[in-house]
Structure 1
Amino acid sequence: MGQGGLVVVPPGIPHAFGAAPGVSAELLVVLTPGVDRFDHFRPLGRIPQGLESHDSLMPHQERFDVHFLDASAWRSARHH
């Protein structure tokens, strides 16, 4: 994805996102239909700073309709 790009993820499709190693990125997320996920996204900004752990998100998967899968394939592809 390059600058100004758009990604549309249909419901139920596993997906992940992140800046390439050594590159920063800004992200705008639009969710429809609206599900109150503000309390899901707030800790995401604290995880890279070490103020929150990814594991802290796990108990809330059902509440926010965000389900985490094994990320090893994504991490491997991201480094290539």
Structure 2
Amino acid sequence: MSTTKPVLVRAAEAEVLPAAGVTLFADVTDTGGHLTSHRSLLRPGKDSAPPHQHKEASELFFVLTGSLRVLLGDDLITLAKGDVLVVPPNTPHAFEAAGDEDTEVFFVLTHAKPRFDYYRLLERVYRGETAASDLAKTSNLYDNHYIESPTWNGRVSGR
């Protein structure tokens, strides 16, 4: 899979999944298998990504606004506006808005499997149209493997 043409996604043309707070930009099917990208709007006090890892993909986080609490292995860190984090494969991670303001994050996954249908499934979960347990059934399909994390479970929300 390779592509020799640029991929341009105009903001007005990007698919928006409002319940999940996700805007889809380019998936691996658009980029010749190189990467997938999206933006997430995370609200304080709302569940975000629980502990998980990707066996194949690296994940880049770029904080556009607000601040982000991140589980990184067994550590909790906070990213601020403008910070970049790259999480390599097989690294446990989770994230949520930190503080009292909305947080926007741009994500890029490389060596990723197609992921847009995962976010569409997540949208249906947030709308109450399907069970959250359906997400776990797709672990291998989307390379999103949920794990347990005592560190994440024991965090104190700063909200």
Pair 4,53 (structure 1): closer, same or farther in 2 beyond 3 Å: farther
| Corresponding residue of 1:8 | 86
How many residue pairs get aligned? The number is 79
Pair 72,42 (structure 1): closer, same or farther in 2 beyond 3 Å: farther
Q: Which has the larger Rg?
A: 2
Greater percentage in helix? 1
| Counterparts of 1:74 and 1:23, CA distance in 2 | 20
After TM superposition, what 4+ stretches of structure 1 lie above 4 angstroms from structure 2? none
Pair 36,53 (structure 1): closer, same or farther in 2 beyond 3 Å: same
- Identity, in percent, stands at 32
Question: 1:30 Cα shift?
Answer: 0.4
| Corresponding residue of 1:27 | 105
Where does the alignment leave 5 or more consecutive residues of structure 2 unmatched? 1-78
Pair 23,16 (structure 1): closer, same or farther in 2 beyond 3 Å: same
Question: 1:6 Cα shift?
Answer: 0.8
Where does the alignment leave 5 or more consecutive residues of structure 1 unmatched? none
Question: 1:42 Cα shift?
Answer: 2.5
TM-score normalised by the chain length of structure 1? 0.75
Q: Please state whether the residue corresponding to 1:41 is helix, strand or coil.
A: helix
- Aligned-pair RMSD on alpha carbons? 2.3
Amino acid at match of 1:65: D
Alpha carbons 1:20, 1:78 under 8 Å: kept: no
- Give CA deviations for 1:3-26 in whole Å, capped at 9, x if unaligned: 121110011111111112543111
Amino acid at match of 1:26: E
Alpha carbons 1:35, 1:64 under 8 Å: kept: yes
| Counterparts of 2:151 and 2:124, CA distance in 1 | 24
TM-score normalised by the chain length of structure 2? 0.42
Greater percentage in strand? 2
